[in-house]
Chain A
Amino acid sequence: MNKSSKMVTLFLSTALVISSAGCGTKQQVVYDQNGNPITVEDDDDDDGYFGRYLAPFGFSKRHSSGAGVVRSPGVSSGSSSSAQNSVNSNSGSTKPVGGSSSTGGTGISSGSHGGIGGGGSSAS
């Protein structure tokens, strides 16, 4: 299989499932009948942060905790439902980034570190 076809296959088999955001928010992506993504969040606190939901692309949809993943029409490749749990909030994001840890598992070394700005201009 060539690289272009492989990307399409990977996209159709793993992309149209669940996603998550930073900050520990429990979000879920569902798709409307036109295949547009809608992010929904748990509704356990309507007045607060977790009660808010996003409705991209002009679609507004109240989420119930049982909302499932709606596949886009026209998407023919199979998508494994087990992949829904493949991306968890904050998972994999606390790995140590330096060798000299001084604050437990975060891998943060003492002192300060510079060096940002390498590689020259980012103008594009």
Chain B
Amino acid sequence: MPVEPSYEEIRERLYGPLRDVFSWDWIEGLEYGLAGIHYITPSFRQEIKLATEALGSIYAKTVFAVQSAEDPLLLELGIPKELLPAVRVLVKPEIVTVMGRFDFMQTAEGIKMIEFNADTPTSVVEAFFVNAQACRFFGAESPNQGTEGQIGEAFTRIVKTYKELGYATDSIVFSALSWHKEDRDTVKYLMDQSGLKAKFVALEDLRIFEDRLCALLDDRFVPIDVWYRLHALEKLVEDYDENDKYPTGAHVLDLVARGKLAIINPPSAFVAQTKALQSLIWNLHEAGEFYTPEEHAWVENYMLPTYMENRFLNKEPFVTKPIFGREGGAVSLFDKDGRVAEKDKDDFYWDQPMIYQKRLEMEEIESNTVSGPYRGRLLWGSFLVGGRASAISARIGERITGNLSCFLPIGVKTSKEEKSKCI
């Protein structure tokens, strides 16, 4: 009688062959990629697509206006003053980011967007590549069919736009930290999918030389025209040469501001990245300003009440988040009386300004893991690529989705109710 394969065996059969592309199914000895599949309905898939495109257009419209505003607004939004000239550079206003990811949660009040990773999103390989492989492995229908092709279209279009704007576009470089395999291999995957004639050059091998950003290749400085960076602008602004204290990052941003360097994601993506923008959008919505009636409905349906001050105390539970936090860093959950229900334990981002957001409970599901069954909260990532809704992915973790949350493949399955609706 054949023996059922163990979870570990199934897991190895799934992820083993993918490690040339997806090498981080274990992260620091902890399981990251789960060997199971969570099914969604076609109607849920459709709704998350609609929400992504609706919010993409809301963000594009708002960011475009913000880019034209006077300095005090950008400073209130948390944009560092050193970045102000660079973030005003317009590239393609209707496309707020080439590659961004909205994070949604499914709640009793419907799907709600909780953050927009517009500048340096990851989970790209998981959504665009691994999920499809997992669907094939488990015999499931993929929710992301045809989305890989969107990456190439979006990158080609942004480079074409830069060229039309008068930028040089011959020398294209993709960069990430070479020692960080998730960052490095995510960027290499994106470069392969972009269809662009480009080189990967580690961030550590970039130099400022003769007023250009250059790749140091074989002891030569090769000037860069177009730079895809998995390096957040709020980090870049603080980069300096340790030897002579030269403000290298500030110089790179000056090149961007002067139109001497094209960056992907474009500067608008950084404006969209600050969570303070969620507060601006929500407050414009509450004031009945700026948006069309249809757009107000999108904000009401898919966003959460968000403010720069605490308006929830003694009324309803709330969340605080730093405006440029990542991976759940410095996020705290509070009950309505202000008692801490849960708090991130890491030391990063606590010094940043916070947003206050209505707290709703996330959907809870169970999945197998190497440690046995695990009940966790589900967070949905939905990519916005070149202004269009694209691949989705799921992570399962604690109430605060941190960097220890796990990737869980998803498939599409039509429910009996939906089948009967189709008939």
Contacts and interface: CB of A to CB of B under 8 A. Distances in A.
A25 B291 contact: no
Interface of A: 2-8, 10-12, 14-25, 27, 29, 34-37, 39, 49, 52, 54, 56-57, 72, 74-77, 83, 86-87, 90-95, 97-98, 103, 106, 108-109, 111-124
Given A2-B308, A22-B165, A113-B208, 20 more contacts: A15-B73, A19-B64, A19-B90, A21-B91, A22-B89, A22-B259, A24-B166, A29-B65, A37-B61, A54-B93, A74-B289, A93-B258, A109-B244, A114-B216, A115-B242, A115-B246, A115-B249, A116-B204, A121-B180, A123-B120
Contact of B206 (A11, A95, A114): A114
Nearest to B262: A22
Contacts of B239: 115-119
A39 B276 contact: no
B77 A121 contact: no
A7 B117 contact: no
Looking at chain B, what size class is its interface with the partner chain?
35 or more
Interface stretch (B43-51, B131-139, B230-238): B230-238
Interface in B79-104: 84-86, 88-94, 101
List the 8 shortest-distance A-B pairs measured between CB atoms, nearest first. Answer: A117-B203, A56-B94, A22-B259, A19-B68, A93-B257, A119-B235, A3-B308, A15-B69
B33 to A, nearest CB: 15
Contact of B76 (A10, A19, A20): A10
A109 B284 CA distance: 45
Contacts of B117: 124
Interface string B134-165: 00000000000000000000000000000011
A92 B257 CA distance: 9
A61 to B, nearest CB: 14
Contacts of A94: 254, 258
Please indicate which of the listed interface residues A23, A34, A75 has the most CB atoms of chain B within 10 Å of its own CB: A23
B93 A22 contact: no
Interface in B179-202: 180, 182-183, 186, 202
A57 B67 contact: no
Contacts of A25: 165-166
B284 A8 contact: yes
Given A8-B280, A116-B206, A121-B183, A36 B248 contact: no
Please indicate which of the listed interface residues A27, A56, A109 has the most CB atoms of chain B within 10 Å of its own CB: A56
B420 interface: no
B76 A95 contact: no
15 contacts: A10-B70, A10-B73, A20-B68, A29-B65, A35-B290, A49-B164, A56-B60, A56-B92, A90-B257, A98-B251, A112-B208, A116-B206, A116-B252, A117-B202, A124-B121
Interface of B: 57, 60-61, 64-70, 72-73, 76-77, 84-86, 88-94, 101, 117, 119-122, 164-167, 175, 177, 180, 182-183, 186, 202-204, 206-211, 214, 216, 221, 230-232, 235-236, 238-242, 244, 246-252, 254, 256-259, 276, 279-280, 283-284, 287-292, 307-309, 326-327, 403
Given A56-B94, A122-B235, A3 B309 contact: yes
A27 B229 CA distance: 27
Contact of B203 (A7, A116, A123): A116
Contacts of B120: 122-124
B231 A116 contact: yes
A103 to B, nearest CB: 7
Given A98-B251, A112-B208, A117-B177, A12 B70 contact: no
A28 to B, nearest CB: 10
